[in-house]
Amino acid sequence: MRTLEVLFTPAEFAGLHQRDLSETVCVVFDVLRASSTMVTALVNGAAGIIPVGEIAEAQVIRRWEPEAVLAGERDGLRIQPELSGGVAFDLGNSPREFTRDKVGGKTIVMTTTNGTRALRACAQARRVLVGSFLNLGATADLLKEDPPKRLLVVCSGTLEQAAFEDALAAGALCDSIWPQYRSGAVADSAGMAQRLFHLEEKDLLAAVAQSRNGQRLLGRPELEADVAFCAQRDVFPLVAELGPDGFVRRRD
């Protein structure tokens, strides 16, 4: 019997180390903005992305790989020297920064408040996919081709709370794959996410803009365009996957 479940908050995904994920496929969403940024970086030719939880961990990897690009945010802003012991990160967490000339052929070491932490929490799963509105269709198509026995949709959230935009994306994915799972064991959380998506699907941009993260980004002129960018649906026919080696790469 196939199972489908959505986790809405960091408290839920923090407990994943206690679960047997060996037969589980996880899809991680951090719509505003880590997963959207990773997908965009891969579209623009990044060789791979190493998601890490802490600033210090990113800096250690940079010492091993001097050509790697350091990327990440705290409180939504690019990591500055006062947080990293004197090193300014090369890029922040805006997908619009990750252009081909900056990331093409490069390895990116990335740390964010929630998104990279969520990915690391899923690392023991059979497969871990990186989801966003930007590549939702391609991700759903892969899951429909070979529906996993256990599918866990993980919302990265905001600080330690649920994030509206991640729940919307989780609902959109659940809606796309519902025929493959409706006769199985579908958790109420998946049904809740699907219903939320149905309420907002006619204007995803307006819904994302009303979220806490959306409002925060719209309040910063240099970041406000990220909201509309990340609310685009199915603009990149790409599947992004976290491999056993800790790299996120495009799945060809």
249 part of a folded domain:
no
- The pLDDT tens digits for 75-103 are 899 999 998 888 889 999 999 999 999 99
66 part of a folded domain:
no
8 part of a folded domain:
yes
208 part of a folded domain:
yes
56 part of a folded domain:
no
pTM summary value? 0.97
Are the CB atoms for 236 and 134 separated by under 8 Å?
yes
Q: Whole-number mean pLDDT of the chain?
A: 96
97 part of a folded domain:
no
3 state DSSP class of 64:
helix
Residues 133, 21: Cα–Cα separation, whole Å: 25
Q: Say how many domains are in the chain.
A: 1
Cα angle at 49 between 10 and 158, to 5 degrees? 20
185 part of a folded domain:
yes
80 part of a folded domain:
no
Can you give the CATH number for the domain in which 136 is found? 3.90.1560.10
- The predicted pLDDT at position 23 comes to 96
Please give the residue range of the domain that contains residue 36.
3-43+114-243
Residues 121, 117: Cα–Cα separation, whole Å: 6
